């Protein structure tokens, strides 16, 4: 049975998945990059994001440890992704043209169909490596139906950002949520849990593992 999953979703100790004042130059908001320190130098991240690693000045094959185990699990058995428009890019309102093709260059790390939630229609965008972005304008359940069809029995991964994960959580449509809880305290930004009653929605902790950089928590329904 295929699952709907969130994997590798980094949050601060006070529950924020992104910092305030997000911009093109600072897409994670003020302090937001600190949330991802657990994964940036893992072997899996370096293999999946070579261009980003090069831009950040990374060297070597990367760590093989608890963090890398969770990073690798995040890509296992994924047949389709769903993400919000803010995760796809900084463009707001109607698409002026098709020039923006995501943050990831010509060969994004997904290699499967990706369904982008948006209010503004756009033709599918086919990239190198098997990634095709489909822009869905009729809501989260329509995106999930299309993702299930495309996944061919494999799992669907909800990629973010915070608002997208919250919508699927609120609707009870996510089976497992892997959170990487770091040591940063942001104080403001986009809070993953504000107003959500996870217990009432049926979520319980099914796994908890600590590394030097993060506490990995899996919530399951």
Please give the average per-residue pLDDT across 77-105, as a whole number.
Answer: 91
Please give the average per-residue pLDDT across 9-17, as a whole number.
Answer: 96
The torsion of the CA quartet 102, 105, 10, 95, rounded to 10 degrees, works out to -10
Which pLDDT tens digit goes with each residue over 164-208? 999 999 999 999 999 999 999 999 999 999 999 999 999 999 999
Question: How much is the pTM?
Answer: 0.92
Beta carbons of 6 and 165 less than 8 angstroms apart: yes
Q: Is the pLDDT assigned to residue 57 strictly greater than 90?
A: no
Beta carbons of 120 and 137 less than 8 angstroms apart: yes
Beta carbons of 71 and 44 less than 8 angstroms apart: yes
Beta carbons of 28 and 19 less than 8 angstroms apart: yes
Report the pLDDT value the prediction gives residue 24, as an integer from 0 to 100: 72
User: In whole angstroms, how far apart are CA 157 and each of 4, 58, 140, 147, 171?
Assistant: 6, 27, 13, 9, 16
Q: Is the pLDDT assigned to residue 135 strictly greater than 90?
A: yes
Domain extents for the chain? 4-19+32-90+106-220
- Taking each helix axis as running N to C, give the angle between helix 140-151 and helix 162-170, from 0 to 180 degrees, rounded to the nearest 10: 90
Which pLDDT tens digit goes with each residue over 68-78? 999 999 999 99
DSSP-based three-state secondary structure for 64: coil
Fold of 4-19+32-90+106-220: Dihydrofolate Reductase, subunit A (3.40.430)
Report the pLDDT value the prediction gives residue 221, as an integer from 0 to 100: 95
Q: Is the pLDDT assigned to residue 209 strictly greater than 70?
A: yes
Q: What is the mean pLDDT of the chain?
A: 92
């Amino acid at each position: 049975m295929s699952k709907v999953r969130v994997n590798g979703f980094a949050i601060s100790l006070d529950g924020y998945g992104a910092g305030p004042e997000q911009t093109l130059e600072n897409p994670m908001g003020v302090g937001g990059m600190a949330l991802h320190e657990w994964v940036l130098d893992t072997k899996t991240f370096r293999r999946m994001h070579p261009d980003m690693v090069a831009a950040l000045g990374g060297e070597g094959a990367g760590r093989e440890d608890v963090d890398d185990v969770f990073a690798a699990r995040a890509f296992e058995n994924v047949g389709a992704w769903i993400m919000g428009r803010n995760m796809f890019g900084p463009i707001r309102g109607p698409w002026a043209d098709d020039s923006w093709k995501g943050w990831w260059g010509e060969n994004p790390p997904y290699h499967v169909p990706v369904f982008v939630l948006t209010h503004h229609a756009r033709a599918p965008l086919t990239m190198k490596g098997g990634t095709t972005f489909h822009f869905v304008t009729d809501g989260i359940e329509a995106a999930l139906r299309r993702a299930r069809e495309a996944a061919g029995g494999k799992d669907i991964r909800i990629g973010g950002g915070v608002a997208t994960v919250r919508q699927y959580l609120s609707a009870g449509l996510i089976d497992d949520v892997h959170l990487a809880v770091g040591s940063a305290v942001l104080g403001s930004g986009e809070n993953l849990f504000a107003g959500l009653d996870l217990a009432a929605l049926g979520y319980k902790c099914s796994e908890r593992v600590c590394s030097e950089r993060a506490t990995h928590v899996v919530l399951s329904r």
